[in-house]
Structure 1
């Protein structure tokens, strides 16, 4: 299966590290011109320096897209894209009854409203051109809402609804809209988190498997997912090969969610 995104322009929000950086690299490897987004110019520039493939075409698109001003800045740098990957997200644990109004709003504005705002900006052009891909990076927490961060779970559940709704808006236009349900993933900071819970003397491979066995036993993969594995699904959904997949919530969760659908 050969994926060719030559001639396509993509924007991946929150792509200076972790899953976003892996998605950006995957799209570039398939031939796309990829906008790298983060809040600061310096952070974006440093990320592009680290990016692979070295010959990939990357465009700096700094701006805090959780704000109207930051979104406008990104749109001025990338006024038109063929592929929009809404990856930006924040998370954090807090007892349910201690989450105040400001925290609820912050999580919604960053994790949901930023994605809605960019979709609203880019989707009309995609529909006019008769081709486009919009994706939202959700989480297993959208379905199995964690008791320790229900505000985060709420935002990821909302993204499933947002994706389905915009897919209906784009019906029959050649534009597909989907969400990707990512499971427990090996990103920056996760190793330290794992070693807070398991024996620090264990080598990483054994440590993560012990962590999954004890603390994430519902995972069928029984290891953390690598960011590139999430990226593989996103790159496929971004391609012409996925032309009949829209309005879906596709799981890359290692079997974490104990359900058949979504």
Structure 2
């Protein structure tokens, strides 16, 4: 299927590794131009080269997403370098295992406040696009009890509410807003790979709770994100797509 993303410009926060990098490479294979940001300059540069190697234009910058000046610079440089902005993937997260006040503040500022700042900065550019779209990377941790009373799930749940309401606010401007909520995703050297090595019993018990008998691949998440970004999904907005192999047990209507 042609997703009609060729030469469209997509921005991704937290794009130097993990799902963020996988998204950049997947979209590059669809012909999109990609701009990423992350904190580590060397990792950003390496990721940009991987994306460019797939035959598309790419840009990247080391960005502190909690700083408005840093955000604005990345957004404007991305638009100037790549020729506008058509889509945004809100992927950055502070993780959220720190349950002290400092951890809650860090997650709020990185996951929620920074994403709000980026959306506000992006809107004038998206308004000029023919296929403007925003996709939020959430988690099944936002939907059911998982991993305890930690900031990660709480912030992801708040983001679902924000983006769900934003979809209604921006619909008259034809800017579509959707979310995806992956369950556990296995990426080499990623979080679940590290858990597998350090706490194999936690890894195995989690896999055992997934009816399909395995964790998702990054590419399986990327495919759904790309579809939601695509004008092929031109009448889809305000939705949250769960990608978890049956991990969550709630009945979805």
Partner of 2:203: 211
Which moved further from structure 2: 186-195 or 114-123?
186-195
Partner of 2:223: 232
Which moved further from structure 2: 23-32 or 37-46?
37-46
Partner of 1:197: 199
Distance change (3 Å), C-alpha of 1:90 and 1:254: farther
Instruction: Spell out, residue by residue over 1:44-103, the C-alpha distance to the aligned partner (whole angstroms, 9 max, x if none).
Output: 111122337521221123312132232122123124411100101122435xxxx33222
In structure 1, what is the Cα distance between the partners aligned to 2:164 and 2:119?
A: 13
Unaligned runs of 5+ in 1: 200-209
Distance change (3 Å), C-alpha of 1:67 and 1:261: farther
The 8 Å contact of residues 168 and 247 in structure 1, kept in 2 or not, is answered as yes
Partner of 2:156: 156
In structure 1, what is the Cα distance between the partners aligned to 2:148 and 2:52?
A: 35
In structure 1, what is the Cα distance between the partners aligned to 2:78 and 2:131?
A: 17
Q: Aligned-pair RMSD on alpha carbons?
A: 2.1
In structure 2, what is the Cα distance between the partners aligned to 1:53 and 1:127?
A: 30
In structure 1, what is the Cα distance between the partners aligned to 2:104 and 2:123?
A: 27
Taking the TM superposition and a 5 Å limit, the aligned residue runs for 1:111-126 are: 111-126=111-126
Partner of 1:18: 18
Q: TM-score, normalised by structure 1?
A: 0.86
Taking the TM superposition and a 5 Å limit, the aligned residue runs for 1:164-179 are: 164-179=164-179
In structure 2, what is the Cα distance between the partners aligned to 1:24 and 1:128?
A: 22
Superposed displacement of residue 128, structure 1: 4.7
Partner of 1:2: 2
In structure 1, what is the Cα distance between the partners aligned to 2:147 and 2:22?
A: 29
In structure 2, what is the Cα distance between the partners aligned to 1:129 and 1:81?
A: 7
Unaligned runs of 5+ in 2: none
Distance change (3 Å), C-alpha of 1:36 and 1:180: same
Partner of 2:140: 140
SS in 2 for 1:136: strand
1:86 to 90, 104, 115: 90
Instruction: Spell out, residue by residue over 1:101-121, the C-alpha distance to the aligned partner (whole angstroms, 9 max, x if none).
Output: 222111111111221111111
Instruction: Spell out, residue by residue over 1:159-207, the C-alpha distance to the aligned partner (whole angstroms, 9 max, x if none).
Output: 11111111011123222100110110113242231133338xxxxxxxx
SS in 1 for 2:138: strand
Which moved further from structure 2: 178-187 or 217-226?
217-226
The 8 Å contact of residues 131 and 231 in structure 2, kept in 1 or not, is answered as no
Tell me how many residue pairs correspond in the alignment.
247
